[in-house]
Amino acid sequence: MFAVEMKNISKSFGSVKANDQIDFAVKKGEIHCLLGENGAGKSTLMKILFGLYSKDQGQIRINDKTVKISNPAAAIDKKMGMIHQHFMLVDRFSITENIIAGQEITGALGIKIDNKAAEKKVKEISGNFGFDLNPKALIENISVGEQQRVEILKALYRNAEILILDEPTAVLTPQETEELFKIMRSLTADNKTIIFITHKLKETMEIADRITILRDGKKIDTVNKDETTPQKLANLMVGRNVLLDVEKKEKKSTGEIFRLEKVNYKNPLSGLKLKNINISFKKGEIVGLAGVEGNGQLELEETIAGFRSVDSGKLYFDSQDITELSTRKRRDMGLAHIPSDRNKRGLVGNFSLAKNILLGSEWNQQFKNRFAINFNYLNDYTEKILNEYDIRYSKKNSTASELSGGNQQKLIIGRELSRASDFVLAAQPTRGVDIGAIEFIHKQLIKMREEDNAIFLISAELDELLNLSDRLLVIYEGAIVAQGKVEEFNEEKLGLLMAGHSEEEV
């Protein structure tokens, strides 16, 4: 029996066909992975199922009955729940208050909320599925993994039988991911049905019963997990043979090129502090930084790039003190920066591709014709980068905002890695890009390493850090809590360190 059937579903946004006549079916009591690159149509399809988008055509059936789902309330009424990538919780409310919001249990006269009855029900559901949550705890005092459990519990409190999880592991440590998978298995043992939206092959192979692959808004195939491999899935996602393993030759690093010495900084908005940061970067090596998001990675990135001034400490580039130097002067010295937020720091959406390539190099003599920009040279240079970095665009005068996310990222990487640089600050270089673009970006970073550049790789992807890095650092609450050669770490050890365990404990 199918818990969910979506037949001939199509949805367009202007001229873009996000879903193109998709058939998608999920068996009752299974974990079904919806796999595809970013922009493949996964989230759009699930937002149609949950009533967040209206479909242009097609039919939806729940438990063998044709249904009309025009809004999330209708989906909840059909016993569905959707757990979004960005949690929808009120920090200052307790777990119980967040779970019962809109479904409060009232006392005998129907006026006062019966907190004891609500807490009892929350505790009961939590215990049934091994959630191990304190109903009275405030959201702001619990971990990210626990917050995700609250979101799942919120759906179960509303009697959800079908759960949609949208990229649920994006902000979790490996241990929290394993806890989530245990919970998912306990839910399906209770005959719940789970749709798991992801682009991660390793997790798909670990948790799925069946897998549906989307590409460019179309369904490519549905396969049993036991009858496929990560390589086959990657090829189906991208439409060609993809190199999954990073080929990295042994390389001896040479002299120091960049150093942070006793750097301290307090973010005035969040209050997060960078505490006594000491890092040395050598030519010809990739130094990776692991940590749960929000532990100081952004502050460290923007301090190095020159967007933030340190409270104390020194930064040295090629032995020169650059602590007080502007971003422009740091770039002139040979710092390349792939920013973690490409829209805020990397691109100007309504600028042409050529003008985006020029960003940060406006004063560089190679782009000038006496006192003005030499647009003939700039256009030729841009075309060279577009070809070399396989950046796909629709027309010559395309703007950055008209590119897909993956092509926007490749535009930034092409601009930054084509500059004369000695030190590459690569923050989340593959965030929001598909597996084909990831393969390409990894090759470019390895190429920069081979050309004797130093690379600081800040990434939320542990596989990426373990595959690319020569040395690894772990950041927790603004402090570097561990560092060493990449061979000294594995995912389990990194996960424990990222969660605040000491090196002695792991």
pLDDT at 109: 52
For residue 501, pLDDT beyond 60: yes
Helix (H, G, I), strand (E, B) or coil at 257: strand
- Tell which of 198, 223, 238 closes a domain: 238
Residue 505 lies in a domain: no
pLDDT at 181: 92
pLDDT digits (tens, 9 = 90+) for 460-484: 888 899 999 999 999 999 999 999 9
Packing angle, helices 491-498 and 174-189, rounded to 10: 100
Is the domain of 123 the same as that of 25?
yes
Reading the block at residue 153, the tokens are: 């519990």
Is the domain of 98 the same as that of 210?
yes
Which residue, among 258, 359, 344, has the nearest Cα to 298 in the 3D structure? 344
Is the domain of 281 the same as that of 322?
yes
For residue 60, pLDDT beyond 90: yes
Give me the domain span that covers residue 305.
262-498
pLDDT at 143: 82
pLDDT at 106: 56
pLDDT digits (tens, 9 = 90+) for 132-154: 788 889 998 888 888 888 999 99
Instruction: Specify the DSSP element, H or E, that contains 223.
Output: strand 218-224
pLDDT at 105: 56
pLDDT digits (tens, 9 = 90+) for 75-117: 999 999 999 877 888 888 899 889 888 765 555 555 556 678 8
Residue 251 lies in a domain: no
Lowest-confidence pick of 40-44, 86-90, 453-457: 86-90
Is the domain of 282 the same as that of 223?
no
Residue 90 lies in a domain: yes
For residue 445, pLDDT beyond 80: yes
What would you report as the CA-atom Rg of the chain, rounded to the nearest whole angstrom?
A: 25
CATH of the domain at 143: 3.40.50.300
Is the domain of 185 the same as that of 293?
no
pLDDT at 111: 54
Is the domain of 287 the same as that of 234?
no
pTM of the model: 0.76
Q: What is the mean pLDDT of residues 49-74?
A: 94
Is the domain of 450 the same as that of 311?
yes
For residue 261, pLDDT beyond 60: yes
More confident residue, 19 or 402: 19
Q: What is the mean pLDDT of residues 308-314?
A: 96
Residue 64: count other Cβ atoms within 10 Å of its Cβ: 10
Q: What is the mean pLDDT of residues 26-52?
A: 91
CA dist 14 and 402 (Å) reads 13
pLDDT digits (tens, 9 = 90+) for 377-394: 888 888 999 888 888 887
pLDDT at 421: 87
For residue 288, pLDDT beyond 70: yes
More confident residue, 388 or 54: 54
Residue 386 lies in a domain: yes
Amino acid identity at 360:
G
pLDDT at 1: 83
What secondary structure, in 3-state letters, does 61-103 show? EECCEEECCCCHHHHHHCCEEEECCCCCCCCCCEHHHHHHCCC
Is the domain of 287 the same as that of 378?
yes
Phi, psi torsion values for 414, nearest 5 degrees: -60, -45
Count structural domains, the chain.
2
- How are strands ordered across the β-sheet holding 162-166? 80-83, 162-166, 193-198, 31-36, 210-215, 218-224
pLDDT at 64: 92
Task: Give the helix ranges, DSSP H, for 349-404.
Answer: 353-358, 375-388
pLDDT digits (tens, 9 = 90+) for 188-247: 999 999 999 988 888 899 999 999 999 989 999 999 999 999 999 999 988 888 777 777
pLDDT at 16: 81
Is the domain of 287 the same as that of 226?
no
Residue 253 lies in a domain: no
Is the domain of 333 the same as that of 422?
yes
Residue 65 lies in a domain: yes
Residue 506 lies in a domain: no
Residue 252 lies in a domain: no
Is the domain of 292 the same as that of 213?
no
pLDDT at 388: 86
C-alpha dihedral, 229 to 230 to 232 to 233, nearest 10° = 120
pLDDT at 124: 87
Q: What is the mean pLDDT of residues 64-85?
A: 92
Is the domain of 223 the same as that of 110?
yes
